[in-house]
Structure 1
Amino acid sequence: MTKGRRGKDPAYNPEDPPSSYEGPTYNTVSGAATVHGSVIQAHTVTIGGRPRSRFEKALDNDADLLAESLRNQWRAEEEQCKIRDPIPLLVRWRSAPDELMDHWSNIHRSPDGSVCQPLSLAGRLDEILEVHRRIPSRRLVVLGRAGSGKTILTIRFVLDRLAARGNPADPVPVLFSLASWNPSTTTLRRWMTGQLERDYPRLAERRDQPGLARAGPGGSTRAAALVGNDRILPVLDGFDEIADGLHRPALEALNDTDMPLLLTSRRTEYAAAVAGTRVLASAAVVELTALSLTDLDNYLPRTTRKATPTSTVWDPVLKHLRDHPRHPASVRLATVLATPLMVALARTIYSDTPDRDPSVLLDTDRFRTPEALEDHLLDNFIPTVYRDQPPAHRARIPHQLGYLAQHLDRLGTRDLAWWQLGSTLPRSSRMCVIGLVTALAFGLVDALLMWPVIWHLGFGLVPGLRTALLNGASFGSTCGLGFGLVYGLRYGKAAPEPSRVRVRLLGGTKEMHKEIVPRLVIGLIGGYGFGFMAWTVSTLVIGLAEPSGYGLLTLLAVGAQTGLIDGLLYGPAAGLTFALMALFEAPIDIETAVSPPALLRANRATVLFHLLLFVLFIVLASGILCWAQLIRFADWIAIGGVGGLGGGLAYALSLTAWGQWVSLSRIWLPLTGRLPWTVHAFLKDAHRRGVLRQSGAVYQFRHARLQDHLAHVSRMPR
């Protein structure tokens, strides 16, 4: 019996052909995948009487680890959103009209069309897996209005499907938010691969990694192998949230594949796409129904305290709805509480808060339309979940969340990524901010380190300070201008993706070792350019500011000579730093999805380790020159301390995802009042309070309707 332990793949043989995989159906099963705490054991499985190949076992291992990670992630999110507290709302559905559904013979996959009888598709939340399995094509579309429970249903489907996985070759259900998919530029499989690589960095490893499954047609990574070999069951949430004008191309792209899937959408957008092209091929379609008064009776009273031994604060409201169903207040409230989203908001505002009375929802003077009631619930949700905060702080939170909502609107996505928070500012503003921050960082390091040295050389305390400040200003301005321009050219259109690696002193992976030579070359060029330009310009500026008797051409010659020498120090130091980092970097483990806080911490550690190595190499190199009496002690401090620490800080703050997060999101956005100073804690707290949910490495607003409402309110004059 062959076993593969968690985090360690079976050996990989490049000669094992991917064609040996015959699909997810077993003929003979001699083992099963078992999960016990933190250990997954993939037992030997035979197909058609033969042992599974190393290629297949590598796929099995990746799929099992991904399944465990997804199970933990979505179970935590379900608990965070109180979906099963105290009981799940009974989300139900019925078959959609025939014009939105393909022919039954296609749904049955009947070659000659003889099997064409309709299927019974009606069901409720705990039957979603059974209904999906009832469909021979395994392709199901779920339609529903905003807030009708589509996302709740997808989470339940993923968890039920994961619980039902019987063997390693079963496809792993993965929930994808379709808002970021552009079908005109990216195929569905390639986009799915990219999403997996973003949220599970180990799946981004290349195929020549030991034990790695051979890649599929979409690329050469673990994620591509899983997608290309149909080991992923896509759960595509939010077809309606794809950018305007792309719904028809998206439906056409979905029809280019026959993979099993579950797709959710609002009815209007899906029907419009169908009218422009055709229905989703071989897919059955169901439509979510409204919650009934019985559903509310069974749910809302159980979510709150008892007002008396036999009644709750919800009982008078529900009694009014039953006794006076045609009363205007009853009609409006019943219309609003027909969706799980609004019921959840009402529960948060009136059930979880001891001093709130839901009877106000029957006030016909305050709420003359259902829309007014919905706005009331949306408006009061944020103040309610932040009710424990001081009034002044609580008043700022809707505007700060509103900025985040507007930011996502401008990006055209639902994914709130920390590394993109400043990317919707104008490019010129971002360049100025990056240039200013790097100039200040370099200038302060320069002035603080050089002042004692200049004083020691006999310039005196005050003259030494003046010279040190002038030196810091010249070096800092040169550095800020250079890094600001490089940032604008390199990242003016899009923020850099964060590094999904962690520092491991025992050694990186073979995949990372391949980066040594390219990183060495890039570091040599970049370090030399920085050293040459910074010292040439700074020598010129200081020479012109201080009476020296030298002419401009002489200063240029001296500056170029100094820059040439110092460039020969900075180039090798930067090259060695970037090259050696490849020996210590390893992708973050697949066992757990990368959370936004974890990814931020990993990037900070990586950047700081880069900085430490760069300073170390610069100090050692210049120290050797000082020991050999080729440069003075003051030059050692200037080159090693100022150049190493100042230059490293400038690079970190301008050209890394973590540094740009610090410069734009931790400094500029709070300084201008758009976000709080503790942005990371603010996002984490919003997730804890149920305003945001976590989806892999990014956050999302709890519901698209909440995001849209906050964005709209924040645009209104205060």
Structure 2
Amino acid sequence: MTSQFGVLLRQLRRQAGLSQEALAHSARVGTRTVRGLETGERTNPNAETMRALAKALELTGAERAEFFAAAGRDEPVQAEPVRFDPLAEAAETLKVAVEARWRREEEQRQIHDPVPLPVRWDGAPAQLQDSWLNIGGEADLGGRVDQVVEVYRRVGSRRLVVLGRAGAGKTVLTTRFVLDLLKARDTTDPVPVIFSLGSWHPERIGLRDWMAEQLIRDHPFLEAPGPSGGTVAAALVDAQRVLPVLDGFDEIAAGLHRPALNALNTTTLPLLLTSRVDEYRDAVEGTDVLTSAAAVVVADLTSDDLADYLPRTTRKKVWAPVLDEVRGGGPLAKVLVTPLMVALARRIYSDTPDHDPAELLRFHDADEIERHLLGSFVPAVYGTDAERVQPWLGHLADHLTRLGTHDVEWWRFGTSSKVTGVGVGLAVGLADLVIEAVVLAALTVRGLLFATMIGLATGVIFGLAHWYVVRAAPLEPVRTRLRLRGRLGKRVGARALLGLAFGGAAGGAYGLVRATAFWLVTPQYSWTTGVLVDVGVFALVFGLGAGLVFGLVAAMEVPLDVRSAGSPDDLIEANRRHVLALVAMIVPVFAVFVAAATGVVVGGLTALRFDVVWSPTTALALGLVGGAGGGLAYGLSLTAWGQWVLFARIWLPLTGRLPWKLPAFLDDAYRRGVLRRAGAVYQFRHARLQEHFARLR
């Protein structure tokens, strides 16, 4: 065995063009070792020497195996050190969350009750897809919903466009695509995630950045720092560990379809894109097809499909006249061709007692039938409560239409930044008036006047602060809990400057009101000197104090655990806890700072021979009241939860546009199938329903 090894070693060394000395030098062994192994003088080389010689000879695969076998041993397997991969762990957590979400959604929408509708598709016209040379091998793209993953994998580029009319079943198809792909997913495969394209503005934000923002919105744990800076969400997108399922290209705002298609063509990401046919065709004619993408068109349901499905949805023998009418053609045959309209008909007539689908036969126009189905859906779902609920749904749909989105984002209730600024200002002013009156003024006439002036000034200042912050972008939900970060960033500096500016303005206003009050009560009070001292002292102290607490607020933000934000209600509750915790922190910090800072300033003024009356107890009391008022003002004016409370829980219900128990109403609408959930937001079950309710306003 050893002689065979010696012969093989000499042969391999000569093939590599090495002398014994050169091989010994490269393998870092002695020349006598190499010579002894080749001549058979040395036997049984140890494993370390074998690995060093194999590496120096650059042996791989079969040659390396033969080399060790000739020495009478198998190469010992070296265990690779286990390395923690944060992206792999994040992808696996994301996979679990996505799968659970869309399984619940399928159950909620009764996709499998009693059987799925047979959604099918055929290859799209050639002008709507790229050339097969770019796609990667021509393939048959026809199929049905349970074959969607198989068809997608036939596309070499892994870029597929799914086209269909409104309500054709594109969303049902994407849901099934995600669940089937996750079922067959290997740990190294990307996680398919559905993104609703209606909120994407391609001229303001790139696709990858927008996807990362959407991931963080729906899965807050992905806001954690990534391995190379940025967030875990951005790292997952950049590493192509997320497969984007882009639902609703047609729902992108008018005028942005062509820029959106151009933006998609700058990427090489594998993806699945859905759209109505006309909007996609217009974008293609104005620019080009989606690069390297194949395309399919969802087919209409047939009379045989309806005959196999509708009778199964009820034990009542009521569908025969409708099915006969569909087979004979006419308006019903033009309407009951999409899963949306069939699902509405099923909900209205199969799932509701004493409703006979034969009433559909009295309509003689397809549009009239569609309006009837859309209009009858809510009465069928809500029964006697329908009349009370429809105005709320109408306001909700109108609100979304004005925002140009399909997402019911709880943090965006309200109107324009100017209007919300006025509302926030009034609320903050009233709250601060109550605090000042009760704590400091003891409800005297003079005290109430003083509190009113302070409340008015505070309301104006924080109303302006709210307007200043939201004029560029709406307040986003704070996905944080109370814990101090190690490093401070731009956000901390920006919020500290904001606190310095508006806190200084609030302090100056307080000083002006205080000086005015003293002048009115004490005629000998020096107006000029008193105003300068009071305004200067309080502007400086309140400005620095507000800058300190605003900076601390920004520094004390870290991502929430995914389990604490699994639904819109969970996200609201998490933000409520966070805001209340921040207010509880602001009050004592601001109070202690004001007491200490005013003591220092007053000491300096006294040294300069100013006559200033000051006591630590009064300063601490002032700090506590200012902290309470400022903390409340911050929570109401500069957090998404505060805006939600003021508008969604108070103003809009007070004016009758939404119910008082809005979260319960939205959850109930979801359970009844009027709304659907998409991560941290609700959406109408279908865009057609949103359009219908918006027209009722």
Q: Is TM (by shorter chain) over 0.5?
A: yes
Q: Secondary structure at the match of 1:287?
A: strand
| Candidates 651, 654, 673, aligned match of 2:656 | 673
Q: State yes or no: 1:373 paired with 2:348.
A: no
Given the superposition, is the C-alpha separation of residues 521 and 486 from structure 1 closer, same or farther in structure 2, using an over 3 Å criterion? Answer: closer
Given the superposition, is the C-alpha separation of residues 214 and 95 from structure 1 closer, same or farther in structure 2, using an over 3 Å criterion? Answer: same
2:71 is matched with none
Does the Cα contact within 8 Å between 1:415 and 1:698 map onto a contact in 2?
yes
- Measured after TM superposition, the shift of residue 362 of structure 1 is 0.9
Q: Secondary structure at the match of 1:694?
A: strand
- Measured after TM superposition, the shift of residue 290 of structure 1 is 0.8
Q: Secondary structure at the match of 1:673?
A: coil
Alignment of 1:214-363 (within 5 A): 214=228, 220-304=230-314, 306-307=315-316, 312-322=317-327, 325-326=328-329, 331-363=330-362
Q: Supply the AA of the counterpart residue of 1:85.
A: D
Does the Cα contact within 8 Å between 1:474 and 1:542 map onto a contact in 2?
no
- Measured after TM superposition, the shift of residue 58 of structure 1 is 2.2
C-alpha distance in structure 2 between counterparts of 1:570 and 1:608, whole Å: 21
Q: Secondary structure at the match of 2:253?
A: coil
Gaps of 5+ in 1: 1-26, 28-48, 109-115, 208-212, 453-463
Q: State yes or no: 1:534 paired with 2:509.
A: yes
C-alpha distance in structure 2 between counterparts of 1:662 and 1:560, whole Å: 38
- Measured after TM superposition, the shift of residue 471 of structure 1 is 1.8
Larger radius of gyration: 2
Q: State yes or no: 1:703 paired with 2:686.
A: yes
- Measured after TM superposition, the shift of residue 534 of structure 1 is 3.5
C-alpha distance in structure 1 between counterparts of 2:543 and 2:643, whole Å: 23
Given the superposition, is the C-alpha separation of residues 282 and 515 from structure 1 closer, same or farther in structure 2, using an over 3 Å criterion? Answer: closer
Post-superposition Cα deviations, 1:305-349, rounded to whole Å, max 9, x if no partner, equal x23xxxx33244324444xx14xxxx2122211101111111221
Post-superposition Cα deviations, 1:479-504, rounded to whole Å, max 9, x if no partner, equal 1111112222222343211111123x
Given the superposition, is the C-alpha separation of residues 689 and 105 from structure 1 closer, same or farther in structure 2, using an over 3 Å criterion? Answer: same
Gaps of 5+ in 2: 1-60, 62-77, 601-612
Q: Supply the AA of the counterpart residue of 2:348.
A: I
C-alpha distance in structure 2 between counterparts of 1:146 and 1:520, whole Å: 45
1:152 is matched with 172
- Measured after TM superposition, the shift of residue 451 of structure 1 is 4.1
| Candidates 642, 654, 668, aligned match of 2:625 | 642
Given the superposition, is the C-alpha separation of residues 691 and 533 from structure 1 closer, same or farther in structure 2, using an over 3 Å criterion? Answer: farther
- Measured after TM superposition, the shift of residue 151 of structure 1 is 0.5
Q: Supply the AA of the counterpart residue of 1:369.
A: D
Given the superposition, is the C-alpha separation of residues 88 and 559 from structure 1 closer, same or farther in structure 2, using an over 3 Å criterion? Answer: farther
Q: Say which is worse superposed, 92-101 or 583-592, in terms of deviation.
A: 583-592
Post-superposition Cα deviations, 1:24-47, rounded to whole Å, max 9, x if no partner, equal xxx9xxxxxxxxxxxxxxxxxxxx
Relative to the length of structure 2, the TM-score reads: 0.81
Given the superposition, is the C-alpha separation of residues 130 and 647 from structure 1 closer, same or farther in structure 2, using an over 3 Å criterion? Answer: same
Percentage of identical aligned residues: 47
- Measured after TM superposition, the shift of residue 154 of structure 1 is 0.5
Relative to the length of structure 1, the TM-score reads: 0.79
- Measured after TM superposition, the shift of residue 589 of structure 1 is 2.0
Q: Supply the AA of the counterpart residue of 2:267.
A: T
Given the superposition, is the C-alpha separation of residues 248 and 450 from structure 1 closer, same or farther in structure 2, using an over 3 Å criterion? Answer: same
- Measured after TM superposition, the shift of residue 537 of structure 1 is 2.8
| Candidates 93, 105, 109, aligned match of 2:121 | 93
Q: Say which is worse superposed, 524-533 or 119-128, in terms of deviation.
A: 524-533
Q: Secondary structure at the match of 2:444?
A: helix
Given the superposition, is the C-alpha separation of residues 203 and 632 from structure 1 closer, same or farther in structure 2, using an over 3 Å criterion? Answer: closer
2:141 is matched with 121
| Candidates 421, 440, 443, aligned match of 1:450 | 440
Does the Cα contact within 8 Å between 2:549 and 2:589 map onto a contact in 1?
yes
Q: Say which is worse superposed, 580-589 or 603-612, in terms of deviation.
A: 580-589
- Measured after TM superposition, the shift of residue 594 of structure 1 is 4.3
C-alpha distance in structure 2 between counterparts of 1:144 and 1:592, whole Å: 37
1:386 is matched with 382
Alignment of 1:628-667 (within 5 A): 630-631=614-615, 636-637=620-621, 639-667=622-650
- Measured after TM superposition, the shift of residue 420 of structure 1 is 0.9
Post-superposition Cα deviations, 1:529-549, rounded to whole Å, max 9, x if no partner, equal 1552232232145346x4532
C-alpha distance in structure 2 between counterparts of 1:494 and 1:262, whole Å: 29
1:413 is matched with 405
1:555 is matched with 527
Q: Secondary structure at the match of 1:387?
A: helix
Q: State yes or no: 1:398 paired with 2:390.
A: yes
Q: Supply the AA of the counterpart residue of 1:448.
A: V
2:221 is matched with 202
Given the superposition, is the C-alpha separation of residues 52 and 303 from structure 1 closer, same or farther in structure 2, using an over 3 Å criterion? Answer: farther
Does the Cα contact within 8 Å between 2:250 and 2:280 map onto a contact in 1?
yes
Post-superposition Cα deviations, 1:367-398, rounded to whole Å, max 9, x if no partner, equal 23111111111111122222263xxxx42422
Does the Cα contact within 8 Å between 2:496 and 2:550 map onto a contact in 1?
no
Q: State yes or no: 1:465 paired with 2:444.
A: yes
Given the superposition, is the C-alpha separation of residues 224 and 625 from structure 1 closer, same or farther in structure 2, using an over 3 Å criterion? Answer: closer
C-alpha distance in structure 1 between counterparts of 2:241 and 2:310, whole Å: 40
Q: Secondary structure at the match of 2:254?
A: coil
Q: Supply the AA of the counterpart residue of 2:273.
A: L
Does the Cα contact within 8 Å between 1:66 and 1:590 map onto a contact in 2?
no
**Richer in helix (by share):** 2
- Measured after TM superposition, the shift of residue 61 of structure 1 is 1.2
| Candidates 132, 152, 159, aligned match of 1:132 | 152
Q: Supply the AA of the counterpart residue of 1:147.
A: G
2:462 is matched with 483
Does the Cα contact within 8 Å between 1:508 and 1:583 map onto a contact in 2?
yes
Q: Secondary structure at the match of 2:383?
A: coil
How many equivalent residue pairs?
610
Alignment of 1:597-636 (within 5 A): 597-620=569-592, 630-631=614-615, 636=620
Larger RCO, structure (CA 8 Å, separation 6 or more): 1
Q: Secondary structure at the match of 1:285?
A: strand
| Candidates 180, 196, 201, aligned match of 1:182 | 201
2:67 is matched with none
- Measured after TM superposition, the shift of residue 172 of structure 1 is 0.8
Does the Cα contact within 8 Å between 2:499 and 2:550 map onto a contact in 1?
no
Does the Cα contact within 8 Å between 2:124 and 2:297 map onto a contact in 1?
yes
Does the Cα contact within 8 Å between 2:197 and 2:246 map onto a contact in 1?
yes
C-alpha distance in structure 2 between counterparts of 1:541 and 1:224, whole Å: 54
C-alpha distance in structure 2 between counterparts of 1:520 and 1:665, whole Å: 26
Does the Cα contact within 8 Å between 1:523 and 1:576 map onto a contact in 2?
no
- Measured after TM superposition, the shift of residue 622 of structure 1 is 6.3
Given the superposition, is the C-alpha separation of residues 102 and 584 from structure 1 closer, same or farther in structure 2, using an over 3 Å criterion? Answer: closer
Given the superposition, is the C-alpha separation of residues 537 and 383 from structure 1 closer, same or farther in structure 2, using an over 3 Å criterion? Answer: farther
C-alpha distance in structure 2 between counterparts of 1:431 and 1:583, whole Å: 25
- Measured after TM superposition, the shift of residue 689 of structure 1 is 1.9
Cα root mean square deviation, aligned: 2.9
- Measured after TM superposition, the shift of residue 53 of structure 1 is 8.5
Given the superposition, is the C-alpha separation of residues 711 and 53 from structure 1 closer, same or farther in structure 2, using an over 3 Å criterion? Answer: farther
- Measured after TM superposition, the shift of residue 524 of structure 1 is 6.2
C-alpha distance in structure 1 between counterparts of 2:125 and 2:599, whole Å: 85
Q: Supply the AA of the counterpart residue of 2:228.
A: R
2:696 is matched with 713
- Measured after TM superposition, the shift of residue 286 of structure 1 is 0.8
Given the superposition, is the C-alpha separation of residues 375 and 486 from structure 1 closer, same or farther in structure 2, using an over 3 Å criterion? Answer: same
Post-superposition Cα deviations, 1:177-197, rounded to whole Å, max 9, x if no partner, equal 111222223222222122212
Does the Cα contact within 8 Å between 1:499 and 1:603 map onto a contact in 2?
yes
Given the superposition, is the C-alpha separation of residues 618 and 135 from structure 1 closer, same or farther in structure 2, using an over 3 Å criterion? Answer: closer
Q: Supply the AA of the counterpart residue of 2:202.
A: P
2:100 is matched with 72
- Measured after TM superposition, the shift of residue 130 of structure 1 is 0.8
Q: Secondary structure at the match of 1:386?
A: helix
C-alpha distance in structure 1 between counterparts of 2:477 and 2:633, whole Å: 17
